Amino acid sequence: MKLPEKFVERVLRDLGETEGTALCAALGTPSPVSIRLNPAKCPDTELLRRLGAGHRVPWCEQGYYLTERPQFTLDSDFHAGAYYVQEASSQFVGRLLDGVRSEGARILDLCAAPGGKTTLYASLVGPEGLVVANEIDRRRAQVLADNVRKWGTGNVVVTCCDAQRLGDFEAWFDVVAVDAPCSGEGMFRKDDAARGEWSEGNVRLCVARQDEILREAWRALRPGGTLLYSTCTFNRDEDEGSLERMLAWAGEEVAEADVPQPDDTWGIVCGRVGAFRTYRFYPHRAEGEGFFAAVARKSEDAPGRPRTPKSRRPILASVGKADTAELARWVVQPERMRFALVADTCYGWYAAQADAVRTLSEALPVIYSGVALGQIFKGRLRPDGALAFFCGLDREAIPCAELNEEQTLRYLRRQDIDAEPLAEGMNLICARGRALGFAKRIGARVNNMYPNSLRIMMK
């Protein structure tokens, strides 16, 4: 599909004939394929060799380019959350937090689906931190929740609401990231649908939404905290223009952030808009798709103190002593965790942010949080599929069954699998040593418990 004529006209006008022509030509070339490894699941050199990894993404320690695109859907390590298929340019947001004490931080990812940046932030903040990942579209929020489960860090709360409800958590977050809804021009190379959906009217609509979201993001950010703003478009009105409009009302509350300077060889075009440092990725200059990012701080003396909305109703119910003991035996460090019931399912959260999770759960529509452990029947846990992905799972709690490639694909398709590798009763199903889910052997029969929402549909 050809590039939209109005887009080409604007690019040539904004960038000049030489740069604009080079950009449009690059949008007709193949997109690079890149992944980001999950450091909590110890990806090894064998995984990289098998996927055909080439050189590292220079601005992300865990990022790698692949020499060609494999069938990720048929790779068990992909389903185990050992890596995330993430566009290289967008991995740059992690570097923007190099000057921030991210471990233990509270991060709001305000426009989070499908979860690439959310999982990156979750790895950065660690067990002592918390990521609140919001998506206003419920269908996309469910995809986000699935990706968070597979990543397995247990430190994410997924919400589904408009930005204003997150803004009501005033001065509550150390970092607020806005990957704003945009016209998607940076995706023209890899997605024909983005070309077909583009229009000047949609650009104007996106601009208005971005302005609204930035106001709520600023409310939610504590004084001294860091604001990240990003889009996947080249359009100045949605990029530098959004920052200029924000500076018109935020004024001196916006302060410069401490960010390392990118290496010149990376091809990133650096700039400034007031106190904001800006970074542009053009596919004819940098090895990635079109991307724009900016960072600034909220000044320490900006007005605002932490405030949360009133609780609607209790959501989390306490777990009895005997049930707590049963849950504790399934995790490696139970002393660092807190457990509670949501409806009839037991959940676990790291103690450092357990009170924050309760506050969020009682004020917002939460789709998923922490780690779903499962349901207790007659004193024994029937594990939820999410528990298999959890990095803090104690594998001594249950027999592990290692499947070969054929049986693994049958398991991921939720088909019947052979009973022979499994012990009688509940088993943790693994492939290449990485956990995928649970199955229960009853004699010669196996109950495949892989979540229906995650199963492979393709042949």
Whether 227 and 170 share a structural domain:
yes
**Last residue of some domain: 394, 415, 442?**
394
pLDDT band, residue 459 (cuts 50/70/90):
low
The percent of residues in the chain predicted with pLDDT above 70, rounded, is 100
Say if 448 falls within a structural domain.
yes
pLDDT score of 43: 67
Whether 142 and 50 share a structural domain:
yes
Q: Quick count: other Cβ atoms within 10 Å of Cβ 98?
A: 12
Whether 347 and 320 share a structural domain:
yes
pLDDT tens track for 84-130: 999 999 999 999 999 898 999 999 999 999 999 999 999 999 999 99
What is the pLDDT averaged over residues 389-400? 97
SS3 73: helix
Q: What is the DSSP letter of 312?
A: -
Whether 156 and 200 share a structural domain:
yes
Nearest to 119 by CA among 94, 88, 138: 94
Say if 84 falls within a structural domain.
yes
Whether 251 and 178 share a structural domain:
yes
DSSP H helices in 16-172: 17-26, 45-51, 76-79, 116-125, 138-151, 163-167
Active site residues: 232
Say if 440 falls within a structural domain.
yes
Q: What is the DSSP letter of 260?
A: P
CATH code for position 293: 3.40.50.150
CATH code for position 390: 3.10.450.720
pLDDT band, residue 1 (cuts 50/70/90):
confident
Whether 47 and 151 share a structural domain:
yes
pLDDT tens track for 248-293: 999 999 999 999 899 999 999 999 999 999 999 999 999 999 999 9
What is the pLDDT averaged over residues 195-211? 93
pLDDT score of 304: 86
pLDDT score of 45: 83
| Average pLDDT score, the chain | 95
Whether 291 and 191 share a structural domain:
yes
Domain count within the chain: 3
Say if 129 falls within a structural domain.
yes
pLDDT score of 293: 98
What is the pLDDT averaged over residues 191-201? 90
pLDDT tens track for 122-166: 999 999 999 999 999 999 999 999 999 999 999 999 999 999 999
Q: Which of 196-200, 366-370, 414-418, 422-426 has the lowest mean pLDDT?
A: 196-200
Say if 112 falls within a structural domain.
yes
Measured CA to CA, the distance from residue 443 to residue 119 in angstroms comes to 39
Contact 290, 232 (CB under 8 A): yes
pLDDT tens track for 310-359: 888 889 999 999 999 999 999 999 999 999 999 999 999 999 999 999 99
DSSP H helices in 16-112: 17-26, 45-51, 76-79
Whether 343 and 213 share a structural domain:
no
Q: Which residue has the higher pLDDT, 402 or 314?
A: 402
By the 10 Å C-beta count (0-12 exposed, 13-18 middle, 19+ buried), 241 is classed as: middle
The number of helix segments (H) and strand segments (E) in the chain equals 14, 22
**Last residue of some domain: 337, 369, 394?**
394
Whether 389 and 409 share a structural domain:
no
pLDDT score of 312: 81
Say if 303 falls within a structural domain.
no
What is the pLDDT averaged over residues 186-203? 90
Q: The domain containing residue 383 runs over which residues?
A: 311-394
- Regarding pTM above 0.95, the answer is yes
Whether 184 and 227 share a structural domain:
yes
Say if 366 falls within a structural domain.
yes
Whether 367 and 407 share a structural domain:
no
Measured CA to CA, the distance from residue 455 to residue 441 in angstroms comes to 20
Residue type, 225: G
Whether 359 and 337 share a structural domain:
yes
**Last residue of some domain: 394, 418, 444?**
394
Say if 306 falls within a structural domain.
no
pLDDT score of 87: 97
